[in-house]
Amino acid sequence: MEIAKTIILKKQVVSLEKPLIMAIVNITPDSFFEGSRALSETDIVSNVGRAISEGADIIDIGGYSTRPGAAHVSEDDEWQRIDFALNTICKNYPDIPISVDTFRAEVAYKSVKTYGIDVINDISGGSIDEKMFDTVASLGVPYILMHTRGTPSTMMNMTDYDDVVSDILKYFAQKISLLRSAGFKSDIIIDLGFGFAKTLEQNYTLLAAQKVFECFELPILTGISRKSMINKVLGTTPQEALNGTTVLNTLALLNGANILRVHDVKEAVEAVRLVDFYKKSTQSN
């Protein structure tokens, strides 16, 4: 199956022959991994600068924690956080592509129209804000379409599937059709939503089956970094989960990931290099 090998970032065609690294920078006081939080201008400049120096291809900014049971954040508060972060990043690092992690159409609209950001990363797949699909269709930037159910406060009570792989394949087929019907003509990137409305076992079933989702011929983003699917198996905390993250990122790369969304850029870059060398070496033999 031939997968889309490029996406458009900053009006440039970017190859996905080598998987890209998306670095997480959260402008939230309650994100599950403390190391991703950047609440001051100094912290934002430092965290983004370090990510770029370590090889990040995209910076992903979030102003609303979507961990299970996360506190509600008003739209105004979310935008104030995003606005502050984007102003800081665009002023200091104007050339780095930026993704905004939001499920709100108005926040997505303001981010693109005010700062020209490059990607909208919607954990709800357009299911929380009914205006999202029409909005991103009008904005003309790549859209990350993630699978989940419910909201961050309810999703972990919504893990019943007839067959988790088949059900999520149907979900993406329906959502992609709705996006195209809304006039969306830009790049769609799919994200299986590890940790969102899925049990521990379902997460691993999806990771093993990730290549099946190449049937859509769209780039696949994998976001596993420091999540509970690591910690529940190893008995670790998010702070202790770097090694587990690298192991699962390696499996994700072997199973077709085109973009890794991570807290730890250096280690993810090394995983990409090693898996790439492994694939080339085994193909040549």
Active site residues: 227, 261
Give the CB-side neighbour count of residue 151, counting CA atoms within 13 A: 11
Say what angle helices 265-284 and 242-254 make with each other, to 10 degrees.
40
Q: Which residue has the tokens 């709800």?
A: 124
Dihedral of CA 279/254/190/222: which sign? negative
Q: Which regions of the chain does DSSP assign to beta strands (E)?
A: 6-9, 12-15, 20-26, 58-62, 98-101, 119-122, 143-146, 188-191, 220-222, 259-262
Q: Which regions of 32-148 does DSSP assign to beta strands (E)?
A: 58-62, 98-101, 119-122, 143-146
